[in-house]
């Protein structure tokens, strides 16, 4: 899942970016409000982690503009502003969650996962499909008594396909969720990940729709 991190502190931003990548997220990092605004206008994200004290355009103004435009992207405010009034102002401006610095990275990851669950209408972090249970937190699939380990990108593709059951997702659409800025995309990267998922989970799980993309058939309840 692709996230936007908006943080002007280079040391803190670098630490958050690395931590979120280790948790399995694809991260684009901007250091000022105007750059973040451009990124939000041109790139599809699952969630934004937003500092408020930003150069060029404040985080609060960025958030208000995002909501005025009708964009309901989940936004987690991450800031040193810790008064009750600050928190109320952030939430009323449209933030979905508010975390005060200093913070624990594990809590940040947990809050991000909770917001993503809510955005996708899920009660838990797991996704179930037929005899499979996908655990994105641990990059694994449980089938009966067997636990199958996935790579971060294999897991991201599977999450995307399971959340859009019955809909074919193009290679470009899948790539967008896998690679951030400054990451080189190999021409057959998605095909390789799909091949590995079929090898690990069965060839029948993911179908190729010629000329369109890939899909997981909708589960009949």
Measured at the alpha carbon of residue 214, what is the angle toward residues 211 and 215, in degrees to the nearest 5? 130
pLDDT tens figures, 28-41 = 999 999 999 999 99
Q: Which two tokens mark 107? A: 């809590």
Q: Which residues share a beta bridge with 210?
A: none
Q: Which two tokens mark 59? A: 């985080």
Q: Residue 146 gets which letter from DSSP?
A: E
Global pTM?
0.83
Q: Which two tokens mark 169? A: 């997702």
pLDDT tens figures, 107-138 = 999 999 999 989 888 878 899 999 999 998 88
Whether residue 99 sits in one domain with residue 59: yes
Total domains present in the chain:
2
Residues 105 and 7: their CA atoms lie apart, in Å, by 15
**CATH number of the domain residue 163 falls in:** 1.10.10.10
pLDDT tens figures, 38-86 = 999 999 899 999 999 999 999 999 999 999 999 999 999 999 999 999 9
| Least confident interval from 41-45, 90-94, 155-159, 180-184 | 180-184
**Domain extent at residue 110:** 2-119
Q: How confident is the model at residue 180 (pLDDT cuts 50, 70, 90)?
A: confident
Whether residue 110 sits in one domain with residue 58: yes
pLDDT tens figures, 188-203 = 889 999 999 999 999 9
On the 0-12 / 13-18 / 19+ scale of CB atoms within 10 A, 29 is buried
Q: Is residue 63 part of a domain?
A: yes
């Amino acid at each position: 899942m692709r996230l936007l991190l908006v943080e002007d502190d280079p040391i803190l931003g670098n630490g958050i970016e690395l931590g979120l990548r280790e948790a399995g997220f694809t991260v684009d990092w901007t250091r000022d409000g105007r750059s973040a605004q451009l990124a939000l206008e041109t790139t599809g994200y699952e969630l934004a982690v937003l500092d408020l004290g930003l150069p060029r355009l404040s985080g609060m103004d960025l958030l208000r503009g995002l909501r005025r435009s009708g964009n309901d992207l989940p936004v987690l405010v991450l800031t040193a502003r810790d008064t009750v009034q600050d928190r109320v102002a952030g939430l009323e401006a449209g933030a979905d969650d508010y975390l005060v610095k200093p913070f624990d990275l594990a809590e940040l990851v947990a809050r991000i996962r909770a917001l993503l669950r809510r955005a996708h209408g899920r009660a838990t972090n797991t996704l179930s499909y037929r005899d499979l249970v996908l655990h994105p937190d641990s990059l694994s699939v449980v089938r009966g008594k067997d636990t199958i380990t996935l790579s971060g990108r294999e897991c991201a593709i599977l999450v995307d396909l399971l959340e859009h059951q019955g809909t074919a997702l193009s290679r470009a659409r899948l790539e967008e969720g896998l690679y951030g800025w400054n990451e080189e995309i190999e021409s057959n990267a998605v095909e390789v990940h799909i091949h590995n998922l079929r090898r690990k989970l069965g060839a029948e799980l993911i179908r190729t729709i010629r000329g369109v993309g890939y899909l997981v058939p909708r589960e009949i309840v």
